[in-house]
Chains A and B, each alone.
Chain A
């Protein structure tokens, strides 16, 4: 069964600290994996998109990694800021079907001063 599992469900860190969010998937055949940031009450914003041949991609203080062999991805946030408080969603797409997306339940990050 195609699934996407994210951990932890929620996380509290102090401003300035680093953190890593995890995404494990069983989706096959794999096309790409996306990370989104969603602030409360707003639409998601794309952070990274990675295909099977990419194993790391950065967007400012956000760095995503992908291990297509173990079907795992992580999102590392460096030097966290209060504005990083949001939900982070992992989405995996099927190969050969543009519109088949599998969504994780998200990790809710709270950055405290």
Chain B
């Protein structure tokens, strides 16, 4: 595949739950990204990490909390989500941030009930 894995692939959670999405890349890249893809809407960039430092937070609500412990791993911690947060959450990585090809994982399909 692309060298980027995401777990779980599917997640159903209630509005009061706390859960985490995990992304791991085996490409030796230094930049990692979280995207949200809702039905019938364009992709939305949420967060960017470059060399473990957050370089972009695209006005994402605080109920989404990213964590990047090292260049190979990226987490998205979720708490008190809303039904409108139901979407496909995609992780990507690239050599560095900038004009480099991004490699995407398969995504986590999240449903908030």
For B101, the chain A residues whose CB sits under 8 A away are 46, 49
For A106, the chain B residues whose CB sits under 8 A away are 42
Pick the interface stretch among A12-20, A60-68, A74-82, A93-101.
Answer: A93-101
Contact of A103 among B44, B48, B97 (CB under 8 A): B44
Q: Type the 1/0 row for A30-41, where 1 means its CB is closer than 8 Å to any CB of B.
A: 011000000001
Q: Type the 1/0 row for B91-106, where 1 means its CB is closer than 8 Å to any CB of A.
A: 0100001110111111
The docked-state distance in angstroms from the alpha carbon of A79 to that of B42 is 28
Contact of B106 among A42, A46, A98, A101 (CB under 8 A): A42
Q: Give the residue name and chain of the A residue nearest to B109 (CB).
A: A41
List residues of B (34-81) whose CB comes within 8 Å of A's CBs. 40-45, 48, 55-56, 58
Distance to closest chain A CB from B88 (angstroms): 8
Chain B: residues with CB nearer than 8 A to chain A? 2, 4, 40-45, 48, 55-56, 58, 90, 92, 97-99, 101-107
